[in-house]
Amino acid sequence: MTDRSNDPGRDEVLFLPLGGIGEIGMNMYLYGHKGRWIMVDCGISFGDEYTPGVDILTADPSFIADQKGKLDGIVVTHAHEDHIGAIGYLWQELECPVYLSPFAAEVLDHKLNENDLDGEVSVNRVNPGEPFRVGPFEIELVPVCHSVPEANALAITTDVGTIIHSGDFKFDSDPLVSRFLDEDRFRALGNKGVKALVCDSTNALDEGATGSEGDAKAGLLEQISKLENRVAVTCFSTNVARLVGLLDVAAQTGRRPCLVGRSLVRMGSIAQKLGYLPKGVALVNEEDVGFLPKSEVLIVCTGSQGEPMSALARISRQEHRHLTLDSGDAVIFSAREIPGNETKIGRVQNRLSGQGVELITEKHGMIHVSGHPAREDLKRFYDLVRPEIVIPMHGETRHLLAHRDLAVDYGIDQALTIRNGQIVGIVKDGPAKVIGETHAGRLGLDGDRLIEIDGSILRERRKLSSVGFVTVFVVVNRKGEAVADPVVSSVGVLDKAYEGDVAKEAEDWAWDALDRVPNGDRTSDKDIAEFVRRALRRFFLNETGKKPIIEVNVTRVKR
């Protein structure tokens, strides 16, 4: 019998999330039909204290990389990092055409250039409302409203029926830069029949409707109008709608805008090139800000999540080459605090507060709105597309469960919550079911290579960060007898005040261990090293209460 999880049949569509379910970010979804596959989005997330030395994370694509001859293409919903950012890193694993809007294609071109992939990737620019085929799938980009230009949902038509993959979306009466959500097209799709809706769950716990970008602009105008000195506003670098609003606020308040932070400058450049920024806007170079009167400065910078190398973090540490903030200046945090980033954000805010900088957050007024649908928005979307099945995505577990319950209460025939790696079979007549499960791991960018997040490298780094490292050098003769004093050194284990005394005692333990190595083990350097390692492990446990990583190096001399 054919394994349906690897070879989807003609009478079914398989849906397999490798990333993006049970989490916010790292989106990577597979759809299978008639023995072929497409990938929807290929994004990144960011490292934390669990991934020392690794800043960028991606979903592990090994399920489809192992059969990449069956992957007909990657279709991108929009240009945010968590939907597009991994393509350059994973290209060698996937090697298939990419389909996306002109704005997203411009962003991808920059990323491919950074990864030395110019000219190697088949990048296909697609306009909304113009159906195109990728393998057995007919796909249409349907405009939705989001914080970046040219965001789209996907209408995926198959022999089983039409599946709508929502991407990130919201309803917004004044979106500033994004298009309005195409309610007429979604209604038409609903009238023809939608088998399944795979849908954004980010704000499924939030009552009411998501606010408008126009409201955020008005709130920012109100706050900035009150301020007399320099103002810095930090937001997500890909929030082009917020950038457009801030440029208008700058014009209304007599301030001159300066973009700071590499990713923000790049996104602003792309938006300006494609005509999404106000015409005639004049941006100030960061090296010229210091020559302007304080009342004329509006800095828009990266760092809303406390990222250590972001522009705002460097300004807060007084390490930025061109920019400083003084007592009486103000910083506005125009972004939601992502769970897990509280400590990093707090560090930046505490440094700024200590320098007399005024901090303005969402507690002070409407200075940020989400780009995702709240509960009333989800109901409004259900009314348009009227799906038989809802599969919540793009959210943590609590968001997915809230979305499922909302859909059921609203009268959707079936709402199915799953986790990354589970394979859902969608058939023409009947409910969707989980039919299997595959590996859904995580990879991290370590320098210029991808490594497994749960692999030995990061396990050892995590252990090093908590217990430290001890190195032992011993010299033995051909018989395995010690001929020189062992040398013990440590990192992150002993306080410098008494490191020497403890190290000397550890060397005595190493001598004693060498004396006690059984004769049968003395011919093996590996056995000698293990005997000494075990002895010093006991010593450091007694001395420090911890078990540091201990490496024993054995040198054998001829005498």
Ranking 19-33, 66-80, 302-316, 483-497 by mean pLDDT, the lowest is 483-497
Query: Which pLDDT score, from 0 to 100, does residue 458 have?
Result: 77
Residue 233 binned pLDDT confidence (cut-offs 50, 70, 90) = very high
Tell me the sheet residues that pair with 331.
Answer: 232, 359
Task: Say if residue 173 is in the same domain as residue 119.
Answer: yes
Residue 544 lies in a domain: yes
Task: Say if residue 389 is in the same domain as residue 329.
Answer: no
Give residue 352's Cα distance to chain centre.
Answer: 26
Alpha-carbon span 371 to 235, nearest angstrom: 13
Query: Which pLDDT score, from 0 to 100, does residue 432 have?
Result: 96
Task: Say if residue 201 is in the same domain as residue 229.
Answer: no
Alpha-carbon span 138 to 117, nearest angstrom: 28
Query: Which pLDDT score, from 0 to 100, does residue 2 have?
Result: 40
Query: Which pLDDT score, from 0 to 100, does residue 316 have?
Result: 97
Q: DSSP string spanning 164-185? A: EE--S-B--S--TTSPPP-HHH
**Mean pLDDT value across residues 318-342:** 92
Q: DSSP string spanning 78-128? A: -S-HHHHTTHHHHHHHH---EEE-HHHHHHHHHHHHHTT-TTTS-EEE--T
Kindly report the pTM of this predicted structure: 0.86
**Mean pLDDT value across residues 334-358:** 92
Query: Which pLDDT score, from 0 to 100, does residue 558 have?
Result: 79
The dihedrals phi and psi of 80, each to the nearest 5 degrees, come to -80, 150
Which of 349, 364, 379 delimits the end of a domain?
364
Domain holding 168, by residue range, is: 12-208+370-452
Which tens digits make up the pLDDT trace of 391-443?
Answer: 999 999 999 999 999 999 999 999 999 999 999 999 999 899 999 999 999 98
- At position 92, the amino acid (one-letter code) is Q
Task: Say if residue 388 is in the same domain as residue 351.
Answer: no
Residue 501 binned pLDDT confidence (cut-offs 50, 70, 90) = confident
Residue 462 lies in a domain: no
Task: Say if residue 392 is in the same domain as residue 357.
Answer: no
pLDDT at 323 over 50: yes
Percentage of the chain beyond pLDDT 90 is: 74
Query: Which pLDDT score, from 0 to 100, does residue 52 have?
Result: 67
Query: What's the CATH number where 270 sits?
Result: 3.40.50.10710
Mean pLDDT of all residues belonging to the chain: 92
Task: Say if residue 358 is in the same domain as residue 384.
Answer: no
Query: Which pLDDT score, from 0 to 100, does residue 3 have?
Result: 52
For residues 127-146, b (16+ Cβ closer than 10 Å) or e, as one string? Answer: ebeeeeebbbbebbbbbbbb
Query: Which pLDDT score, from 0 to 100, does residue 1 have?
Result: 31
Give residue 391's Cα distance to chain centre.
Answer: 21
> For the purposes of burial, counting CB atoms within 10 Å of the CB of 104, is it exposed (0-12), middle (13-18) or buried (19 or more)?
buried
Structural domains counted in the chain: 3
Residue 276 lies in a domain: yes
Query: Which pLDDT score, from 0 to 100, does residue 4 have?
Result: 59
Query: Which pLDDT score, from 0 to 100, does residue 8 have?
Result: 85
Residue 240 lies in a domain: yes
Tell me the sheet residues that pair with 393.
Answer: 200
Task: Say if residue 293 is in the same domain as residue 243.
Answer: yes
Residue 6 lies in a domain: no
pLDDT at 96 over 70: yes
Query: Which pLDDT score, from 0 to 100, does residue 99 have?
Result: 98
Residue entry with tokens 């050892």:
460
Task: Say if residue 237 is in the same domain as residue 324.
Answer: yes
Task: Say if residue 517 is in the same domain as residue 538.
Answer: yes
pLDDT at 242 over 90: yes
Query: What's the CATH number where 499 sits?
Result: 3.10.20.580
Residue 123 binned pLDDT confidence (cut-offs 50, 70, 90) = very high
Task: Say if residue 346 is in the same domain as residue 387.
Answer: no
Which tens digits make up the pLDDT trace of 4-14?
Answer: 567 787 899 99
Which of 312, 346, 364 delimits the end of a domain?
364
Residue 183 lies in a domain: yes
Ranking 43-57, 367-381, 544-558 by mean pLDDT, the lowest is 43-57
Query: What are the strands of the beta sheet with 162-165, ordered from one edge?
Result: 132-134, 137-143, 152-157, 162-165, 194-200, 387-393, 414-415
Task: Say if residue 329 is in the same domain as residue 389.
Answer: no
Task: Say if residue 80 is in the same domain as residue 188.
Answer: yes
Which tens digits make up the pLDDT trace of 136-182?
Answer: 999 999 999 999 999 999 999 999 999 999 999 999 999 998 789 99
Residue 7 lies in a domain: no
Residue 117 lies in a domain: yes
Query: What's the CATH number where 183 sits?
Result: 3.60.15.10
Which of 364, 384, 418 delimits the end of a domain?
364
